Each structure stands twice: as C-alpha cells, then as structure tokens.
A and B are shown apart, each in its own frame.
Chain A
C-alpha cells in the first residue's frame, strides 16, 4: 500500500469515527432530551382531573356533588390592548381594575385571574375573543340542598399544595375515596394541531372519586333541621341537636345541629361550627343515662322491676355529699319501674350501689360508654372511664343518674339503641354503600359491636320506658295511641367546680314503636331558657318529630290511649 492510499484510508476511518462519536452523543447522551423535545412538538400533556364523588341520601339525591367551573388565566405576553382587556375583564369578573391591571403587567406567561367561573360567565368572556386569555376546567363542590346536614357532611377546602381536601364529617372521613385519582395523558396532534387517532398515551390511569350512598333519609333530615331550629328558638336555647338511628342496623337516618354553617362559605363562619357536636361534644347526660344503668342492673339480676328502694324516703348522703331528687319529692319504697317513671335520683343511687364499681364499669364498657362508637365521621371523641382506683363512692352514686360522667350524644343514642334492638348494640354508620365510577355498589353490612343485655332484659326495660312516657313528667306531650319508649333528661352543667342550677342540658331519648322500633332518637337542647327541664322542652320536640316519622312509616295508632 502506498502512502497515499494509507492517508485516504486513515482519513476515512477517522471521519467514520467522528460520525460514530456524534451519533453516540445524539442517540445515547441526548436521547432523553430529544425525545422530550419531539414529544413537545407533536403532543400536548393533558392533566386529567378526577371528578370528586357525590354524596347521596338514601333516595339517591346528591346533597353534595361537583359542578363544572373554570379558571380564567392570562398570558400577559400575548395581550396587545392591555387597557381594553383590563376594562372588560374587570367588568365581567367583578374584580377591581387595579388588581387585574397588576396581574396583566406581570412578566410571566401564565397568570391565574379567577377561580370558580360559571359556565355562563365563561361563555360571555369567551365571546369577547380577547387575545391571551384562556380557560381551564375545574370542579367545584355544589350543595343542592344548601346548608342541609352541614356538620354531617363537612366541607371541601384546600391542603398546603392548594389541592382539594375534605375536612370534618363525611368529606374528611372519606376524603381518599371521594377525591379519586388524578391522571395524565399525552394528546398527539398533527402539524395543524388536530388530534391523531390511537395516539392518546395515558401514562397514568385516572379514576373519578367514588359516590357515597348514605343511610340519611333526606325527608327526615329536612324535617329534623326545621323542627330543631324552631325548638331552639321557641325554648330560647343556645344550641340544639338531634340524632335518629335505625336501631336494627345502626344506620344514621338523620343528624342535625343548630346553629350550623354554610359549607359554600365556610370561611365566613366560626370554626367552632365546623365540628359536629353530636359526635364531638362531651356532656353529662343526666337522666337519659338511667335506662342504661337500670337495664344493666336488671340484666345482672341485681334488681327486678318490683324491687323496692329502701333508701328513697329522703335525700341520700354519700361521702358527705347529699343527693336530692330533681324536684325534692320523695317516694319511700318505690320500685324500679317507678324509679324510672319519676326519674328518681335516690332510686338510681340505690341501683348503682347494688351494682358496685366493678359491675358498673363492666356494664358501661359493654354499652360503649367511654369509647368511640366507630361512627364513620371525622372528629368523634370520647372520654375514657376513670380507672377503678379513681372511683369514689360518690362517683358511683352520681353515675347512676348520669351526672359526673361525660359522654357524647352518639354514645347515648347507640346505647339506648341496644335496648331497642333486643340487647344488641350496633356500630352507627352514616354511609350505607359505596358506588365506584363504573356504577358497582358495595354495601357496608351492619355490625354488632356488643350485646350488653339479653333480649328479655331489653323487653323489660322497654316496658319500663313505655311506662315512663305514659306516666312520667313528659306524658302531656306523648302521642296518644302509640307505644313509645323514652326517658327525659335534665342535666346540670358543671361550671367552675360546681353545678349551676339554672343552666341545664335538656334532653329526651326514646324509640318507637316500642314493640318493633323503626327509629331511636335523641333530642338535646343546650341551656334552654323557657324551661330548664327536658320534659318541657326536648320532649315536645321529640314527639313532634316522632309523629311525622310514624306517619312516614305508615304506622297507625293502635288505640285511643
């Protein structure tokens, strides 16, 4: 080989080497970057927002749903006639000129102007054909029944990243189920920007949120909220609440509190109102607690309905404290039926002393007192029972008539529900079923949490409570012709280490019809001023609601009495 051939050969090999080196650079080192650039040329990344699941009442009506709204944004670099754009946008968006002008003066390519724009307003602005103004679809929570069941539902707010997040109630408890999963996709288009078939690459599957189907009966909820509001105003109470449960399944049929807030403008209300007091407020239940203690004593054969109280002839002295009846009337030798009928505190001290601390603690645990009921709402609290070593004689005595012990209303409703349900305590549940985006319905089965008393004891206790309704202090308000089991409650409120005699929590708990209960209901009024007694305030509200519920269930009165 001559030296000329050698030079040509080496040159060719060298140039090939350079080409291979360059190709390696583009195809291996820069491959990812080039791929992204190419994708940006032929495709557009699309963020697929999942639609938050609805919350439906038992009749399938959505009391919380999602509606389409728009985010209006601007690209200030594309806006030519700024003054005109500012003027028009300010007018249509109802934002002051200075704010819009400041936004459009920013040296950015994307500036959000307004969230939650309605479809009509979006179309109006779109028709102006303003350059540099665009829209992005969003979802906003919509409440067709306005503020109905506000504390039960909770509300939809934002987290630290600005994403939707449910707070309190169902929105908080079921947030992960409701919000679904955000998706992303690449929409490939041709040179004219038209989408190309079969080139939609979804690199993350999106799933809409799941729908909650509640046990809540919309008609009951509406009725209860109205009657409660009227009751609170009529009796001059500070607040009030009502809970209604199906004792056989634990399904919550209605739960209302007053005053309430409007979920759409939750920021305008005190954060105290966000909390659902029925599951989050602790109170001393007073006499509505007596059926729980009495049924436990009956179940353990410590007393019978005919057992006579031998300490009921006057105030009872326990560890230096004197315990009176609510009206300072005493009935020497009254039996257990009359103890509940007259709501006799001394009679309940007799029962509590028969039980002793050990059996009292066991019974209360079995009734779920001192622990969360497991209701599917965010924010449930409970006050654990004191350890046995901390119980004094006076604690045992006052627990017998529902003072000196803190419970939530849902604990009382659930415990009385056990008496209505042949001794079986159910886990209260607001959601009946969950429906996924394909329409598949998964039902949540009722769950028995405990059996604190036998069916026989439950039946005896029911009769004692029916007698209390028919012959007790609230008999004037009862529904004639119906057998309703119930108990009034007037609990003193502990203030600065003592009980204020003029400030009470008035309540009434009961179930109907007594022989085959369709519902168990608890009505509570906080500090009523028209009368401090549950029999004169909460009981009339209870029977007023019960009357409509019995008509709804088409249960006719059985007799004229």
Chain B
C-alpha cells in the first residue's frame, strides 16, 4: 500500500512542477510580443534600407552610368594600344 501512495505523490508533484514551469515560461513569452514586434519592424526597416542602397549602388556602378560620366568629363576611347613583346630585351640576355 505504501508504494502506490508514493507513486501518486510523485506524479502529482511532477504535474504541479510542470504546471509551474509552464506558467513561468508562458508568462515570460507572453510579454516578448512587444520585443518581437520591435525586432520585426527593425528587420523590415533594415531590409528596406538595404534594398534602397543596393539599388543606388547598382545604378551608380553601372557601365551605362560610368560611360556617361566619363564622356561628360571629356574622356575618349583609346584608339591605339601598346603591347610588350615576348622577346627578351638585349640587356637581360647579356
């Protein structure tokens, strides 16, 4: 008779402890909605900022834009090119 009584007490204690833990966690989690809301808002804001900046970077670094800026500043296309041959210079040979 003693053993079943102990088992019942153990089970009831476990239920009580788990209930308390659950109450404690729920209590803590319930208030984190505000923080979650702020985090979500900040994430959205950063994503938006990132997107806007990326768009500006792409526009400014596009070849179309760079070519136009180079033209506006007076740069022209190089018509002649210079290539160094593969023959070893006389000075190095000696």
Interface residues of A (CB under 8 A from B): 61-62, 65, 67-68, 119, 142, 144-146, 148, 189-190, 194-198, 218-219, 222, 547, 551, 556-557
Partner of B55 from the list A142, A189, A198 (CB cut-off 8 Å) is: A142
- The reply to whether the CB of B81 lies closer than 8 angstroms to some CB of chain A is yes
Closest CB in chain A relative to B87 CB, distance in Å = 11
In contact, B51 and A68 (Cβ under 8 angstroms): yes
Partner of B64 from the list A148, A198, A219, A556 (CB cut-off 8 Å) is: A148
Q: Mark B46-74, 1 if CB is under 8 A from A, else 0.
A: 00100110110011011110010000000
Interface residues of B (CB under 8 A from A): 29-30, 32-34, 36-37, 40, 48, 51-52, 54-55, 58-59, 61-64, 67, 81, 83-86
* Given A65-B58, A556-B83: A119 and B52 interface contact (C-beta under 8 Å): yes
Contacts of B63 in A (CB 8 A): 145, 148, 218-219, 222
Contacts of A218 in B (CB 8 A): 63
Q: How far is the CA of A196 from the CA of B64 in the complex (A)?
A: 48
In contact, B85 and A556 (Cβ under 8 angstroms): yes
Contacts of B36 in A (CB 8 A): 194-197
* Given A194-B34, A194-B37: A144 and B29 interface contact (C-beta under 8 Å): no
Q: How far is the CA of A62 from the CA of B62 in the complex (A)?
A: 9
Partner of B61 from the list A61, A219, A547 (CB cut-off 8 Å) is: A61
Of chain B, the residue at the smallest CB distance from A223 is B63
Closest CB in chain A relative to B15 CB, distance in Å = 23
Contacts of B62 in A (CB 8 A): 61, 144-146
In contact, A195 and B58 (Cβ under 8 angstroms): no
Partner of A557 from the list B48, B52, B83 (CB cut-off 8 Å) is: B83
Contacts of A119 in B (CB 8 A): 48, 52
Q: How far is the CA of A144 from the CA of B61 in the complex (A)?
A: 9
Contacts of A547 in B (CB 8 A): 81
A/B interface sample: 8 pairs, CB < 8 A: A61-B58, A119-B48, A146-B62, A146-B64, A189-B33, A190-B33, A194-B37, A198-B29
In contact, A68 and B48 (Cβ under 8 angstroms): yes
Q: How far is the CA of A61 from the CA of B63 in the complex (A)?
A: 10
In contact, A222 and B64 (Cβ under 8 angstroms): yes
Besides the known contacts A65-B54, A67-B51, 4 further A-B residue pairs in the complex with CB atoms under 8 A apart: A61-B62, A65-B55, A195-B37, A551-B81
* Given A144-B62, A556-B83: A67 and B55 interface contact (C-beta under 8 Å): yes
In contact, B29 and A197 (Cβ under 8 angstroms): yes
Of chain B, the residue at the smallest CB distance from A200 is B36
In contact, A556 and B58 (Cβ under 8 angstroms): no
Q: How far is the CA of A222 from the CA of B58 in the complex (A)?
A: 15
Q: How far is the CA of A190 from the CA of B58 in the complex (A)?
A: 41
Contacts of A146 in B (CB 8 A): 62, 64
Contacts of A67 in B (CB 8 A): 51, 55
In contact, B33 and A195 (Cβ under 8 angstroms): yes
Q: How far is the CA of A217 from the CA of B83 in the complex (A)?
A: 23
Most chain A CB inside 10 Å of its own CB: which residue of B33, B63, B64: B63
In contact, B81 and A144 (Cβ under 8 angstroms): no
Sorted nearest first, the 7 A-B pairs with minimum C-beta distance are A144-B58, A556-B83, A194-B33, A222-B63, A144-B62, A68-B51, A145-B62
In contact, A62 and B58 (Cβ under 8 angstroms): yes
Of chain A, the residue at the smallest CB distance from B58 is A144
In contact, A556 and B84 (Cβ under 8 angstroms): yes
Contacts of A194 in B (CB 8 A): 33-34, 36-37
Contacts of B52 in A (CB 8 A): 68, 119
Q: How far is the CA of A190 from the CA of B30 in the complex (A)?
A: 9
In contact, A197 and B51 (Cβ under 8 angstroms): no
Contacts of A551 in B (CB 8 A): 81
Closest CB in chain A relative to B25 CB, distance in Å = 10
In contact, A556 and B86 (Cβ under 8 angstroms): yes
Contacts of B37 in A (CB 8 A): 194-195
Most chain B CB inside 10 Å of its own CB: which residue of A61, A144, A551: A144
Of chain B, the residue at the smallest CB distance from A51 is B51
Q: How far is the CA of A85 from the CA of B51 in the complex (A)?
A: 30
Partner of A144 from the list B32, B59, B84 (CB cut-off 8 Å) is: B59
Q: How far is the CA of A62 from the CA of B58 in the complex (A)?
A: 8
Q: How far is the CA of A62 from the CA of B86 in the complex (A)?
A: 38
Contacts of B81 in A (CB 8 A): 547, 551
Contacts of B32 in A (CB 8 A): 197
